[in-house]
Chains A and B, each alone.
Chain A
Amino acid sequence: MRNAAPRGLDSLGLKPLHMLLPLCALMAPLSAAVSCELNYPTADVARLFPGSTGFKTIYFSFANRGGAPALRKVEARLGGFPALYAPLDVPYVVYEIYKGNEKIGYIHGVNQKGQFGVLEVFVSLDLEGRVKAFYLQRVAGQWANKFTARKFGTQFVGLTLKDFAQYNLLTAKGSGKVAAIANPVPEAVTDFLGILRAIEKNLILMDEFFYSAAKTKP
């Protein structure tokens, strides 16, 4: 079976229109700066924050919250390593969690470099900044299910930013609650430390933009 010969503009019918669909998809430019959002916010919020009745999504970036000085401050708190790819424009997403009209906490996620790809790490936090739940939305590697397992995630429950002060993420040495967290895949140290670093980044960002900001409000 053969196709008909190519036809001119006047006789363009349905076929070229169908042909356009994949081409439009192929040619469509992609959006800029990458944020870290929950894939299914309604279901994920209910799962990560049992007892919640609603949430509000807040977007912010360093570009509109303090600019380069704020970014440098956060990078310094993280150990001085600059973030990859246009860090000023990266939109961060915070889900403010409500029970009725009362705010009961937050869910916040960050992207972190992992061994074979990005790690999308979310934590739900109470109003004091204590981790209530851990959720690894994305991780690449054959060991991924070990990191997404409930057993691994529950080790983070109860952590606060203060707990990271006793642990050095660069040398992987220290004491306290963070040092007690077990790596389920010894050969995936990059991903394990990446997850710890993502949690610390998460807590620092939340402290910088929400908890400390709330304390300084008159």
Chain B
Amino acid sequence: MISKFQIATKNLLRKKSRTLLTLVGIVLSSWVLVSLLGFNRGYEKALNRDIDNMGYQIMVMAKGCPYEAATMMLQGGAGLRYIEENVVKSIETKPEVDKVTPILMQAFFDPNKGDGGGIAGYFGIDIATFPEMKPFLRFHKGSWFRDEAAAEAVMGYEAAELEQREVGDMILVPEKNVQLRVVGILERTGTQDDGTIFVPLRTLQRIAGLDKITTIGIKVKKDADITKLETALYQLPDMQVVSFSQVKMTIMKLIATARVMVLSIAVIALLIAMVGVVNTVLMSVMERKHEIGILKTMGAMPGDIFRLVWTETLILCATGGIAGIGLALVFARLSDLLVRRVLPYAPGGELVAIDGRLSLLTLLIIVIVGLLSGMYPAWKAGRVRPLDSIRGER
């Protein structure tokens, strides 16, 4: 016996072009919808990962330092401002603080880097506290420094690749002509650590001829009041506080407008697609009034006709939805690239994250909205009066 699905499929295939065009509308709208939902989730996740990979939630530096950090690459760190190391001790005592690590950023002019020279940057870190802040850092080869004043360096994967360094090789700090032995190469992280050369804090201080630091990284205790800590840190004289929660909120605010706009476009696309579904099914019902009348005279109840027409809507939406989600999955990397081009700041990693759960959710939305749209044509079909429709054919 022929099933309801087979009848519905046959009906849809009667007008192939119309069905295909309707399907294209649903495919496009589900593609946009799943990509957008994937972006909503992926962007925040990638941003959180980037911020978590910093290892600390708050950075304290001398006032004006962030600007100079940005220009360090251009000016060789000439304008860097420094903090006394005892500030670390005063921050450590705060109840919200879990861990603190002092950092010294230094840049030296390398006259042999490119035409006209370039800047080589170094990150002086405290071996006792920094690795604890970034337990996710793994070594491709080697390990951290032997001691806090060793003439050694640990290189991010890409820094090592760029300089063609291996564990045991030497690097030379330009300007100062100090040799450092590479004792470790980190695995790729997808963050700025990949391009960083880490040196023991005391070693870098000795090379630079100073006993100060540029930055303090602070890891806050779980469930501690970050805002309260930030307020306390702002009381430190001449200090600038950069909270990554604020940074995250600012970035999220920057992209919020774009998200709302794209979401609106997705909703409009979905509505247009559904209008297309209503139109297709309604036209099909009108064209088949005579057949529906005959079905009714043969004993079909309004509910049977309703379900038959509704099944057509279900087939259209489910097929279009699955195809759209499939395309979104196939072209996820392309969407990722396009999104990266238009965003003011794009974190590393996957920006458009589409998984099975999200795909099912999108399919459910498409099918539910589709079925709601299909109710009117199905109801209209169920109300066809057999005698009127048969008479109308004559």
Whether chain B is bound by chain A comes out as yes
Query: Cβ of B50: which chain A residues have Cβ within 8 Å of it?
Result: 27
Asked if B164 is an interface residue, CB under 8 A from chain A, the answer is yes
Tell whether, in the assembled complex, residue B66 and residue A23 are in contact, meaning their CB atoms are under 8 Å apart: yes
Tell whether, in the assembled complex, residue B242 and residue A23 are in contact, meaning their CB atoms are under 8 Å apart: yes
Q: How far is the CA of A138 from the CA of B110 in the complex (A)?
A: 10
Asked if B115 is an interface residue, CB under 8 A from chain A, the answer is yes
10 pairs, CB–CB < 8 Å, chain A vs chain B: A20-B251, A23-B66, A25-B70, A27-B348, A29-B194, A30-B158, A34-B162, A85-B160, A140-B171, A148-B112
- Number of cross-chain contacts by CB at 8 Å: 137
Tell whether, in the assembled complex, residue A22 and residue B66 are in contact, meaning their CB atoms are under 8 Å apart: yes
Those of A161-186 within 8 Å (CB) of chain B: none
Among B18-26, B233-241, B259-267, B325-333, the one that faces the other chain is B233-241
Tell whether, in the assembled complex, residue B164 and residue A111 are in contact, meaning their CB atoms are under 8 Å apart: yes
Asked if B40 is an interface residue, CB under 8 A from chain A, the answer is no
Asked if B322 is an interface residue, CB under 8 A from chain A, the answer is no
- Taking CB as reference atom, which chain A residue is nearest B72? A22
Beyond A5-B234, A27-B348, A34-B161, 7 additional contacts (C-beta under 8 Å) are A1-B238, A5-B231, A17-B250, A34-B162, A84-B164, A113-B164, A118-B162
Tell whether, in the assembled complex, residue B345 and residue A140 are in contact, meaning their CB atoms are under 8 Å apart: no
Interface size of B in residues (CB-CB distance below 8 Å): 58
**A interface residues (Cβ-Cβ under 8 A, vs B):** 1-6, 9, 12, 16-34, 39-40, 44, 84-86, 111-119, 137-142, 144-145, 148
Residue A140 contacts which of B112, B191, B230 (CB distance < 8 angstroms)?
A: B112
Q: Shortest 10 CB-CB distances between A and B: which pairs?
A: A29-B348, A116-B172, A22-B70, A144-B112, A113-B164, A6-B230, A22-B69, A85-B161, A117-B163, A16-B250
Asked if B295 is an interface residue, CB under 8 A from chain A, the answer is no
Query: Cβ of B246: which chain A residues have Cβ within 8 Å of it?
Result: 6, 12, 16, 19
Q: How far is the CA of A137 from the CA of B79 in the complex (A)?
A: 28
Asked if B247 is an interface residue, CB under 8 A from chain A, the answer is yes
Q: Contacts A2-B235, A20-B251, A29-B191 hold; do A138 and B230 have CB atoms under 8 A apart?
A: no
Q: How far is the CA of A40 from the CA of B114 in the complex (A)?
A: 9
Query: Cβ of B150: which chain A residues have Cβ within 8 Å of it?
Result: none
Asked if B78 is an interface residue, CB under 8 A from chain A, the answer is no
Q: How far is the CA of A31 from the CA of B171 in the complex (A)?
A: 22
Query: Cβ of A112: which chain B residues have Cβ within 8 Å of it?
Result: 164
Tell whether, in the assembled complex, residue A142 and residue B177 are in contact, meaning their CB atoms are under 8 Å apart: yes
Asked if B243 is an interface residue, CB under 8 A from chain A, the answer is yes
Query: Cβ of A16: which chain B residues have Cβ within 8 Å of it?
Result: 246-247, 250
Chain A proximity of B162: nearest CB distance (Å): 5
Q: How far is the CA of A27 from the CA of B177 in the complex (A)?
A: 29
Q: How far is the CA of A112 from the CA of B164 in the complex (A)?
A: 7
Residue B158 contacts which of A2, A26, A34, A139 (CB distance < 8 angstroms)?
A: A34
Chain A proximity of B43: nearest CB distance (Å): 14
Chain A proximity of B320: nearest CB distance (Å): 36
Chain B proximity of A135: nearest CB distance (Å): 10
Highest count of chain A CB atoms <10 Å: which of B160, B165, B237: B165
Asked if B113 is an interface residue, CB under 8 A from chain A, the answer is yes
- Taking CB as reference atom, which chain B residue is nearest A44? B115
Tell whether, in the assembled complex, residue A6 and residue B243 are in contact, meaning their CB atoms are under 8 Å apart: yes
Highest count of chain B CB atoms <10 Å: which of A24, A26, A84: A26
Residue A115 contacts which of B63, B166, B170 (CB distance < 8 angstroms)?
A: B170
Q: How far is the CA of A31 from the CA of B234 in the complex (A)?
A: 36
Q: How far is the CA of A139 from the CA of B253 in the complex (A)?
A: 45
Q: Contacts A6-B241, A9-B249 hold; do A114 and B164 have CB atoms under 8 A apart?
A: yes
Asked if B174 is an interface residue, CB under 8 A from chain A, the answer is yes
Chain A proximity of B161: nearest CB distance (Å): 4
Chain A proximity of B336: nearest CB distance (Å): 13
Query: Cβ of A20: which chain B residues have Cβ within 8 Å of it?
Result: 247, 250-251, 345
Tell whether, in the assembled complex, residue A19 and residue B163 are in contact, meaning their CB atoms are under 8 Å apart: no
Q: How far is the CA of A213 from the CA of B195 in the complex (A)?
A: 37
Asked if B347 is an interface residue, CB under 8 A from chain A, the answer is yes
Query: Cβ of B6: which chain A residues have Cβ within 8 Å of it?
Result: none
Query: Cβ of A18: which chain B residues have Cβ within 8 Å of it?
Result: 66-67
Chain A proximity of B76: nearest CB distance (Å): 16
Q: How far is the CA of A57 from the CA of B238 in the complex (A)?
A: 50
Q: How far is the CA of A111 from the CA of B63 in the complex (A)?
A: 40
Query: Cβ of B347: which chain A residues have Cβ within 8 Å of it?
Result: 27
Q: How far is the CA of A34 from the CA of B188 in the complex (A)?
A: 14
Q: How far is the CA of A1 from the CA of B239 in the complex (A)?
A: 10
Q: How far is the CA of A137 from the CA of B118 in the complex (A)?
A: 12
Tell whether, in the assembled complex, residue B240 and residue A3 are in contact, meaning their CB atoms are under 8 Å apart: yes
- Taking CB as reference atom, which chain B residue is nearest A33? B161
